[in-house]
Amino acid sequence: MNPTPQRPSNPLREGLSNRALPRPCNVVIFGASGDLTYRKLIPALYNIQADGDLPATTHITGFARREKSDDSFRTELHEAIGKFSRSGLDENVWNEFSTRVHYHRSEFGSDEGYQSLAERLNKLDEESGTAANRLFYLSVSPAEFEGILIKLAQFGLNKTREGSWSRVIVEKPFGKDRHTAHELNEMVSRVFEEKDTYRIDHYLGKETAQNIMVLRFANAIFEPLWNHRYIDHIQITAAEPMGVEARGPYYDNAGALRDMVQNHLTQILCLVAMEPPTDLSADSVRDEKLKVVRSMRLMSPEDVAKNVVRAQYGSGSINGKEVPEYRAEDRVNPKSETETFVAMKVHVDNWRWAGVPFYIRVGKRLPKHSAEIAIFFKETPGVLFNAEQAGLGPNVLVIRLQPDEGISLRMQSKRPGAQLCIESVKMDFHYGTSFGKPSPEAYERLLLDAMAGDATLFARRDEVDQAWTFIDCIEHAWHQNPNPPPMHSYPSGSWGPHAADELLAADGRAWRRL
Ligand code: BG6
């Protein structure tokens, strides 16, 4: 066995613990002519190289059906990196990077295609003198998973020689409900062991999401207050001005609840609500997150009617530009009943969070691209200052996931002058200015972790199953109920339907203005 090298102390690359270094490997991207490859995966791999973290002798092979040569693929990637890389394009880095990139044209079900892939990967291993480590990235629709997995197993690509590894990264959606997620996981588990299966959730790779645990467990001042005694409620928001773009067929079948809440927002909620893990290993962290998902109160149809608001965007204006209603989007059913906005109140029924509502809000065609967690603390007693100047307002700790990643704390302060006037002020920490460097993109971090064999920031099978159990109750109340709650509408460019405001107003609260 090769000893596992430890990462040098590059602060941007240190993880939650002292992680192992990424190992040289052959990365194979299935669905390499898709959008994700151009916008995210290749720019991420390029930036890993630009930062000097891509292990020498790592190769990247794009596997797709379209006719292309290595050279034409490289030309497309060159353009994509120019457009989408966070650090821009440096021709010197590109020259080195491009020699590592290859294109493999094949149908997903072709024996010949996998046979020649195996030969190609072996040859690359021989030429570079590296261990036969493989990282397969399934950036394809779930309908293609089975065919690809069967072929990988048939040609022995899921197994590799002693001391090497073969892993698979699976993109969401992980199913459409608990049942289909189970089938999908069963299918993957027939070919790859759970320890080699990496279910990617790019929200977990966001720098500030990783910082939630550091904020909570590396500072003495927050954790004692982090419970129902001091916290009034928590708001988690993910807003985006974009509509469904070119993803009509997928999105119209999924909706905001499955697209964002089942995965990203549930994962974030878990990081906020979990107990301290016993250590920073992947399983200890994921064990704690699992306990949170298990504590999320399942809703009856009556609870859903009371606690969940769904809505679809109408036409409107985003950044001064007129945009069409959802039903008029490309390849969306003109009578679609799919939600593009969800607001909900979630209860986490455990000792720490009893009685503290978590409000979640997510939507497309909202005014801003913004994701944040806001922790509202309880107000001070209504004596002294809070008696003299009623409604001082609570302390609010805001963790900004994007844009302008950072953390701020709202508190009360005396305005200078002879009179006693109290005003809210903000202590603010911005990643950009404090560390003087842009944060790595989520995909950079996650790809590196998969190469290093660290699954902490990937969803485990039982977490995914349990999250679906929660979501299925809501989907059931919407779609298999003689009396379903209404589908509201909101103009594009607004903050959602009035019903979302009423949800909080009924509890004497309001959404934070972003
Ligand atoms: C994806 C969803 O997982 O996340 C998209 O499928 C959504 O619908 C996207 O637009 C949002 O990601 P981010 O990082 O821009 O907030």
Which ligand 1 atom is at minimum distance from the Cα of 371? 16
Query: Hey, whose CA ends up nearest to atom 8 of ligand 1?
Result: 259
Q: How far apart are CA 145 and CA 138, in angstroms?
A: 7
456: closest CA among 198, 84, 109, 159?
Answer: 198
Q: Residue 378 carries which side chain, given as an amino acid letter?
A: K
Asked if residues 201 and 170 have their Cβ atoms less than 8 Å apart, the reply is: no
> Facing residues of 360 across strands?
236, 344
- Backbone torsions φ then ψ of 104, nearest 5 degrees: -125, 105
Give, for ligand 1, the residue of 171, 206, 244, 260 to mutate: max count of ligand atoms closer than 8 Å to Cβ: 260
Q: Are 289 and 467 in contact (CB under 8 A)?
A: no
The closest-lying atom of ligand 1 relative to the alpha carbon of residue 264 is: 3
Query: How many Å lie between the centroid of ligand 1 and the Cα of residue 424?
Result: 33
Would you state the pLDDT for residue 143?
A: 85
Alpha carbons within 13 A on the beta-carbon side of 172: 22
pLDDT tens, position by position, for the chain (514 residues)? 444 444 444 433 444 444 678 888 999 999 999 889 999 999 999 999 999 999 888 999 999 999 999 999 999 999 999 999 999 999 999 999 999 999 999 999 999 999 999 999 999 988 887 788 999 999 998 889 999 999 999 999 998 788 899 999 999 888 899 999 999 999 999 999 999 999 999 999 998 888 899 999 999 999 999 999 999 999 999 999 999 988 899 999 999 999 999 999 999 999 999 999 999 889 999 999 999 999 999 999 999 999 999 999 999 999 999 999 999 999 999 999 999 999 999 999 999 999 999 999 999 999 999 999 999 999 988 888 877 666 788 999 999 998 988 999 999 998 898 888 888 899 999 888 888 777 889 999 999 999 999 999 999 999 999 999 999 999 999 999 899 999 999 999 999 999 999 999 999 999 999 9
Would you state the pLDDT for residue 12? 36
CA 239 – ligand 1 centroid, Å: 9
59, 102, 104, 264: which is the annotated catalytic residue? 264
**How many angstroms does the Cα of residue 224 sit away from the middle of ligand 1?**
33
Interatomic CA distance for residues 474 and 476, integer angstroms = 5
Give residue 264 CA to ligand 1 midpoint distance, Å.
Answer: 9
Task: Establish whether residue 259 lines the binding site of ligand 1, counting it when its CB lies within 6 angstroms of any ligand atom.
Answer: yes
Cis peptide bond upstream of 497, omega within 30: no
Contact 363, 256 (CB under 8 A): yes
Question: What single-letter DSSP state applies at residue 109?
Answer: T
- Supply the DSSP string of 339-392, one letter for each residue: -SEEEEEEEB-STTTTT-EEEEEEESS-SS-EEEEEEEEPPPPSSTHHHHSS--
Regarding the beta carbon of 371 and ligand 1, being less than 6 Å apart is answered yes
Q: Where are the alpha helices (DSSP H) in 426-460?
A: 431-435, 442-452
| Predicted TM-score (pTM) of this structure | 0.92
Mutate to test the pocket of ligand 1, among 208, 264, 443 (most ligand atoms within 8 A of CB): 264
Beta strand residue intervals within 40-189, DSSP E: 59-64, 101-105, 134-138, 166-170
Which atom belonging to ligand 1 lies closest to the Cα atom of 402? 16
With a 6 Å cutoff on the Cβ, whether 240 touches ligand 1 is yes
Q: Which residue has the tokens 């607004």?
A: 494
**Cα of 209 from ligand 1 centre, angstroms:** 15
- Say yes or no: CB of residue 35 within 6 Å of ligand 1: no
What pLDDT shows up at residue 421?
85
Give pLDDT, residue 9: 41
Q: What is the pLDDT of residue 71?
A: 95
Domains of the chain, start order: 21-171 (3.40.50.720), 204-505 (3.30.360.10)
Judge whether 58 and 26 are in contact, CB under 8 Å: yes
Task: Return the number of other C-beta atoms located less than 10 Å from residue 248's C-beta.
Answer: 18
Q: Please tell me if the CB atom of residue 329 comes closer than 6 angstroms to any atom of ligand 1.
A: no
Whether 264 is catalytic? yes
Q: What separation in Å is there between the alpha carbon of 179 and the centre of ligand 1? A: 24
